[in-house]
Amino acid sequence: MSEIIDTTNLGEKIVKVLKTIFDPEIPVDIYELGLIYDVLVNEDSEVKILMTLTTPNCPVAESLPMEVEEKVKSLDEVKSAEVEITFDPPWTQDLMSEEAKLELGML
């Protein structure tokens, strides 16, 4: 009998990792900024992350998705990780958490 993967628990661990990754131009992590649209984890511990960037010509358009993928893959429970970038819907400041807005003095 194969071990049942706790996808919810793994999802929470992935979010913790995502909160260690910061946008270089804004002193807020990418999760609180609202750049992460979805984190999908299947029973095989394969992870797919749907994310966006603040702008299509963001200076970290190449490196940020790679950093997300590498950090998520570094979790022992994760077998594979794939990051997909989307600009649909485009990122707006409305996607930021209250915490991020507070941090940036927008509240």
Domains defined along the chain, listed by start = 7-96 (3.30.300.130)
Q: What is the pLDDT of residues 4-59, one digit of tens each?
A: 568 889 999 999 999 999 988 888 999 999 999 999 999 899 999 999 999 888 88
* C-alpha distances in Å from residue 33, one per residue of 6, 7, 18, 80, 94: 26, 24, 11, 25, 9
Q: What is the pLDDT of residues 54-77, one digit of tens each?
A: 988 888 888 999 999 999 999 999
Which pLDDT score is estimated for 66? Answer: 96
Does the pLDDT of residue 1 top 50, yes or no? no
Q: Write out the two tokens for 93.
A: 């400041």
Residue type, 67: E
Burial of 96 (0-12, 13-18, 19+ CB in 10 A): buried
Q: What is the pTM of this model?
A: 0.89
pLDDT (mean) for 77-93: 95
